Amino acid sequence: RPAGAQAGQSSVPGAGDAPAAAVVVSKAPAAVLSDGGRIASFGEMSLAASKVRSLKAEGQVVTVSGSGFDETRGVFLALCAVGQNGAAPTTCSAGDQTSAWISSSPPAYASELAKPYAEDGAFTVELRIKPLIDTATDCRRIACAIFTRSDDPASSDRSQELALPVT
């Protein structure tokens, strides 16, 4: 159990240092899970989902909310395969309501794609979570989580990364 974690809480899989071969500016925060795995938190940042267990095989809409994120840094929100040994998440869902881009100052090309943060680095979106991210990535067979990850301008910065493991 991580320092400061209470009984019933656990570290988020995938949080930790990236492998030496990866170029990273920072490591992922050592987040703590609570409320049956529906909330991941680290410092002021929090990520919560309406459902993370027993998701439907055909997919379903899940409400995901966050707060305490750095409003000067955008994040992608998606279902991703958990990286091995603390590496950054690998294959992630994209498009068709399966992902979201949260940024109050997106690059010019993304001004219509990104949703701005609310007050205090907060956001709420609905994602369509499907167990098949692509033809080679089946979350029924490998570890996956709903992740926040830094957006394009800071993609190697993992300080905004939180994860909610799904089953």
Inter-residue contact 133 to 80 (CB < 8 Å): yes
Confidence of residue 3 (pLDDT cuts 50, 70, 90): very low
Query: How is 6-66 classified by DSSP, letter by letter?
Result: PTT-EEPTT-SPPPTTS--SSPPP--EEETTTTEEEETTEEEEES--SS--TT-EEEEEEE
Which of 6-15, 33-42, 124-133, 154-163 reaches the highest mean pLDDT? 124-133
Higher-confidence residue: 117 or 36? Answer: 117
pTM of the complete model beyond 0.85: no
Query: Is 85 strand, coil or helix?
Result: helix
Tens digits of residue pLDDT in 51-109:
999 889 899 999 999 999 999 988 999 999 998 887 778 788 988 789 999 999 888 88
Which of 28-32, 33-37, 93-97 reaches the highest mean pLDDT? 93-97
Mean pLDDT of 106-131: 92
